[in-house]
Structure 1
């Protein structure tokens, strides 16, 4: 990827690792934050749920943003309950910031796989702290299996700001790839591009790289052709897939 100009759309507080991964392969990284993470407008339901963890059998963590949201403001009450993470980055964050040893990781890092893999019994109580705009897939699967699921808003995903003048760079054909790591990065990228005078047609000659199937589905819904999607839905997997694409 030496010399390739690649847009990183991750939130400012979490873009440094992916930027470093891309730079390690010789890429020139253009940071263009398309999401930001902010607390819930009303955090009482979350505080109450976390203060009563003993009432639950499972705590499911579906993103590093969830972990960081919990660690920032809500000390976990001591409780003996199972916990699971959707992927290795979330599991590492749970250990580092919450002191939780993850007992379950799905084979592939999606909500669907986690919902099917969880060794849950009918009637068990599950707590899922998540974004206000999170999909209901995981909760739906678990409820269909007989679980009592409580979904609590842990944070809000809002449009990001700042970064490079990507609309101008696209118009000048100075971008080789745009990377997306969530459906919300896709939605907000397209919104920012329009609001800042960009032209969606300028993306036609740019590599579109998505971390996983849900992100890719959102990109396709916006009329984008997805060129790269790794089989392992992690930042490392996305970087490796991009490197192969540009060989």
Structure 2
């Protein structure tokens, strides 16, 4: 199944009840995180301005808080949105499998909260770590005008593709996961497509949900191909 077909199926399921329910929860929690961050930032700035006897501290604090929160929303949205979605990923994947892959839905293992939390923390760690590693390369390429953006796009496309397909794959593997069955280039293409959607205002709120659903389609397609190959005469045989 092509990545674009998977994205089309994912978008088509956005109006389904179970998906809408998760969409509202994840968007509300994501936006709530940034509102809470902005309120805390505003309070801290007002206190700092008052301590240094800066006049108009409330207005100045509000202006600076809005500016910092807005910039943070732009740069950190992907990280926060995916971390939030991790807690509801099982519901998204289950809704897609129930509609399109009923056999897979029957054999899937529901992930416990502890494992969801661990996956979310690992994902955030990978994202922060790889972006920090890419920073010197991006800085060296800043003179090219576009090189830095391409470096970060490549890194985050790979990261997004892995996270979005892992959400489905982890329901069908053992506690010690084998290699993700979706090929690296399909994961990267999915990640790049979702990263592009995240650059569009308002559409970026839907991007994690679309990506998780599309990642489920790609994972099930890859598993079906693997099983078909195993059953073929030229596939692996028992000794």
TM-score by length of 1: 0.24
Name the structure where strand makes up a greater proportion of residues: 1
Q: Which of structures 1 and 2 has the bigger CA Rg? A: 2
Name the structure where helix makes up a greater proportion of residues: 2
TM-score by length of 2: 0.25
Bigger relative CO (Cα 8 Å, ≥ 6 apart): 2
